[in-house]
Structure 1
Amino acid sequence: MSFAMEVKEEILNHTFTEEQKIALLSGFIKYNGELIYTNNGAALKLTSNSNNVIRNIFSILKTIYKGNIEISIIQIQKLRKNKIYQLMLTDKVLEFLASNNIYNVDDGEKIIEMDLEKYDRKIKQELTRAYVSGMFIAIGSVNSPETTNYHLELQFKEIESAIYITKILKKFGFEFKTTTKGNKTVCYIKKSIAVSDFLKFIDASISVMKFENTRINRDVSNNINRMINIDIYNQQKSSATGTKQVQEIELIQKNNLMSELSPKAQKLAQIRLENPDASFSELEMYMNDQNVVITKSGISNLFKIINKLANTIGD
C-alpha cells in the first residue's frame, strides 16, 4: 500500500460529527463523484482503488443519505490486475447533492465554494479541515517519506477549484504552488515541514509520525555521512600537506641548511618527519609534549618559513 493510501485510510478511521461527515463527503463527492443520467433518473458514482476507503465512505453515507446505494467491484486487466471499488447512489440524487451544497441543479454545475457562513470561527475551521480531508481522499497524493523528494499535491479538473482551494489553504499558512499537467491543474507543496503540517491539518497524526521519524532518521544519516566525508577530505588534505612538507624538510637537510631554521622550527621539522600524516592539531600536541609551547597558528607560520627556505634552494 502506498503512503498516500495509508494517509487516506487513516483519515477515514476517525470519528466525525454529523456536520463534519457532511463536510468530508462534500469535499470527496465534488472531486470524485460522477453524475450519470439514466432512464430512471440521475445517479452518482463514487470510486476508489481502496476497499477500506470505499467501505468507510459507504458507512458515512449511510448516516446521511437515505436512498439506495449499490456496491460493485470492477476488475481492470492491464499490466497489473487492479480492482476498482464503486458506489452508485440511485435515489433522489440531485436533491441530496443540492441539499448539501454540492451541486447546483438549476445551473447544472458543481458548487465550488463551501457554505460556512452560519458557523462560528472554530466550527468553520473544523469543517474546513474535514472538507479538505475529503478532497484529499478524492484527488490528493503524497510521496513516501522513504524518498528524498518531498511532494504533496492536489489535482483539479478545473482551474476555478484550484484557485479557490489554494486561497482557502493560504489562510491556514499553506503556500501551494500551481502548475498544469495535461488537462489538469496541480497544486503542490514540496517543503518537508509544509507536507508534515498539511498531514496534521487533515488529522493524519499516525502518518505525520511516520513521515517525521523517517525524515529525522534520514537527516541524521545524511549528517553522519557528511561528517565522515569531511573527515576523509581533511585526512586526505593533511596527508597531501604533510607529504609536501616532508619533501621540503628533506631538501633542506640534503643541502645542510637546517641551521638556518630556529630551534623551534627545527623541532617541528623533526616531528613532521616522524609523523608525515599528522594534522596541525596533532603536531601542536606533539610539540607541547616536548615542552615547546605553540599554537596551530604558530605551526602554520613555521611551515611557511620552512617552505620559504626550501624554495630558495636551487636559485
Structure 2
Amino acid sequence: MRELAGAGALEKQLDRLTEDTRALARVQSREASRLGAERAIADITFALAALGALFIILVDRAAIAPQHVPLAVTVAVAGLVPAAQIADLLRNAGTLRAAAERITEVLEHPPAVHATTRPPRPEPASELGLVFDRVGFAYGGGERVLDGFSMHIRPGETVALVGPSGSGKTTAARLALRMWDADAGGIRIDGTDLRDIPDEELRRVISTVPQSSPLQRGTIRSNIILGNPDAPDAAIHEAASATGMFDPHTNLPSGLDTPVGEHGTGISGGQRARVAIARALLNNPRVLVLDEPTASLDPDADTAIMDFLKQSKDCAVLLIAHRPDTIAMTNRIIRLGDLEHGAR
C-alpha cells in the first residue's frame, strides 16, 4: 500500500481491483445459476423417480403385502442414491479432468538439469574450490548472459562478484548451484564437473543463502536443521554463534527455541538472515554461495559474519553484494559486465 501510494498508483490499482472483482462476481453468479439449475434438475429427477417407484408399488399392491410397502418404498428410494452420486460426479467431471491435466503437465515437464549417470572424473588437486571454465549461458536461446566467463575461488577465499543489474551475477550463482547447466564450458567443484556429482552429494558440498530467506513455522532451531535434522547440538550452536545469534542485541531471549511463524513472521529481517546463514554453515560446505545475505544486518553483524567466513580455510565463498563495506572485506573482487567476454 505504501509503495502504491508513493508511486501515485493507488487509485488506479483500486479501480482495477474493483473492476476485476465485479467481473469475478458476474462469473460466479453465472456459475452459481448453472450449478443451481443442474442440482434442481437432478433433485427433480430423483424425486420423480422416487414417486414413480412408489406409484408402481401402489398400483401393484396385490404383489406386495401391506406390511412390506414401507420397506419397498425405502429400498426403491435407496436404489436411486448411487444414481444421484453419479450425476454429481458427472457435473464435476470437467473440473476434475482439467485438474488432472495440470498435474500431468507438471509431472511430465522436463527437468532443467538431468541427474548424472556418469562416474566422477576428478581433476588434479590444483583445482580445489569452485572453478568456472569459459562458461557460456543464455536463457531460452536468447542473448548470452555469460560468455567465456572464467574464475577460480580456492578454499579459504571469499570472492565478491559485482556488476550492474543484468550482468549475470545471479545467473553465475544459480549455475554454481546447478539450477541450470551451462551452454558452454564447465563448472567444477574440487576438480569434479558438477554434471558428474549426484544431486544429493552436490547439496552437501555446496550451500546457498539467497537474498530472500523465508522460514517455516517452528523454531529457530528447527529452521537451522532443516537440511540436516540429525546435526549434533554442538554443531548447531557453533553455526548459530558464527552469525552472532546469541549476542544480547539480537533480541532473541529464547535463543534457538524462539518461535517462528509461517514465512518467518515473528522475527526481524536481520534475524531471518542469521538463521539462513546458520543453516548454510551447518552443512560445513566446500562451497558457499551468498546472494546479498547480510543486506538486512547491521554493520557490526555484517563484519562479524565476514570475519567468520575468512577464518574458514576449507570453504570457497562466492559473495554477491552491493554494500561497499561488505565487498571491501573480501579477498578478491570479480567484476561482470564491463570486461571482454562478459567477465574475467
Fold agreement, TM-score > 0.5 = no
Higher normalized helix content (fraction of residues): 1
TM range (shorter): under 0.3
Structure number, greater radius of gyration = 1
Larger RCO, structures 1/2 (Cα 8 Å, 6+ apart): 2
Per the normalisation by structure 1, the TM-score is 0.25
